[in-house]
Amino acid sequence: MTPVELSGTVLRAVRRAVDEGELSVTVPGRAVVTPPGPGGCGDYATNIALQLARPAGRPPLQVAEVLLPYLLAADAVTDVVVTGPGFLNISLRSGSPAALVEEILRRGKWYGHVHGPDAQPLVPLHAPHEVRAVVVMDATARILRSHGAFVRTNCEAPLQPEWTDILGVRVDSHGPSATPGGLSLRPVPAAPVDPLPLGRDAARWALLHPALHDRPRLTDDHLVQRESNPLFRVRYAHARTRALRRNAADLGFAAEPGDVPDARALENALADHLRVLTQAASHRTPDRLARHLVTVADAVAPLLPTVLPRGDEKPSAAHRARLALAEAAGAVLAGGLSLLGIDAPQHL
């Protein structure tokens, strides 16, 4: 979608809001769309909400919230985020869904990894001697390195051996941070409950999934094999996609990207993966990636029972396309879990 086409999409969203009685304004003749400025995200941003605020007699943020669902309903739009005083940041689907699936399958679990220039500036990360801060720093470093950054990690004191042995955390140095401009990661500390009995995967998830300003819950709920456990849903969805690939091979067919009706939620989640990785890297927030993996897992769940032929049904182009979409979701889940330092099992 070109900027001119996106401008028309924005104006249609305004017109729909007016027709529905949610805004009382004259639809302007033009909507300005530009690359996002500082603090923005996505592919383009528009100030249409600020432009309409005065004639609508409402704050720009309220106007932006009114327009947001109408923009999300547009076919080429995958996400809309409101930033600043009311800028609408719009992410667009890159090419056709089939092309996206093909690209994910080509890159596998490394989809979303980028390579920077040969001379990367140093990104120094520092953490206090606290288990959640150290795990967050480790995951942040993994995500930054996947974006080509040269990262050095430092903890203010030597790590406890079990943090390395059980949680898989390593640092490059310890002691006072000596690198100017280093970022100190200080999430809300874990409750005075030892996360180590949860084991590596559940403990890391428990410490990484909540927003950094929320206190994590270190309970056995992270170990239960039920849908109420987000980690289980993510790992189960991944294991199901791997099983479908094996079962399809036994039936003599393989994945072939194509049109999959009624799968827009999953296609949008996969299209959003690059943006989420970029934001997780730039804002040093691995929790964004963790929650995105839950979104992908929940979106792929309705697709999974439809992938394989039933009874005497022969494999068709529709089955191959659904298998390709499921495999793409599995690759994104595997890659995301790897960046969080969590295993993505083939069987569960």
pLDDT at 120: 56
Nearest to 327 by CA among 243, 217, 210, 253: 243
Tens of pLDDT, residue by residue over 176-197, are 865 666 789 999 998 888 999 9
Burial level of 52, CB count in 10 A (0-12/13-18/19+)?
buried
Binned at pLDDT 50, 70 and 90, residue 1 comes out as low
Task: State CA 69 to chain mean position distance.
Answer: 20
Phi, psi of 127 (to 5 degrees): -135, 145
Instruction: Kindly report the three-state secondary structure assignment for every residue of 299-347.
Output: HHCCCHHHCCCCCCCCCCHHHHHHHHHHHHHHHHHHHHHHHCCCCCCCC
Residue 97 CA to residue 303 CA, distance in Å, equals 15
Binned at pLDDT 50, 70 and 90, residue 46 comes out as very high
- Which of the two residues, 23 and 92, has the higher pLDDT score? 23
- Which of the two residues, 94 and 299, has the higher pLDDT score? 299
- Widest CA span in the chain: 68
Residue 153 CA to residue 186 CA, distance in Å, equals 14
* H/E stretch holding 112: none
Note whether 331 and 104 are within 8 A (CB). Answer: yes
pLDDT exceeds 80 at position 22: yes
Tens of pLDDT, residue by residue over 204-214, are 999 999 999 99
Average pLDDT (323-336) is: 98
Enter the tokens of residue 195: 């996360």
- Which of the two residues, 50 and 276, has the higher pLDDT score? 50
pLDDT exceeds 50 at position 202: yes
pLDDT at 33: 87
Tens of pLDDT, residue by residue over 231-253, are 999 999 999 999 999 999 999 99
pLDDT at 117: 46
pLDDT at 2: 66
Average pLDDT (153-168) is: 95
Report in angstroms the alpha-carbon separations of 212 from 132, 177, 268, 315. Answer: 9, 21, 26, 46
pLDDT at 118: 45
- Which of the two residues, 277 and 302, has the higher pLDDT score? 302
pLDDT exceeds 60 at position 119: no
pLDDT exceeds 90 at position 320: yes
Nearest to 332 by CA among 294, 293, 295, 303: 293
pLDDT at 180: 61
pLDDT exceeds 90 at position 328: yes
Residue 89 CA to residue 93 CA, distance in Å, equals 14
Q: Indicate the pairing of strand 122-127 with strand 150-155.
A: parallel
DSSP codes joined into one string, 200-269:
HHHHHHHHHSS-TTSPPP-SGGGG--STT-HHHHHHHHHHHHHHHHHHHHHHT--------TT-HHHHHH
Q: Tell me the pLDDT of the chain averaged across its residues.
A: 91
Nearest to 162 by CA among 128, 215, 200: 200
- Which of the two residues, 84 and 101, has the higher pLDDT score? 101
* H/E stretch holding 34: strand 33-34
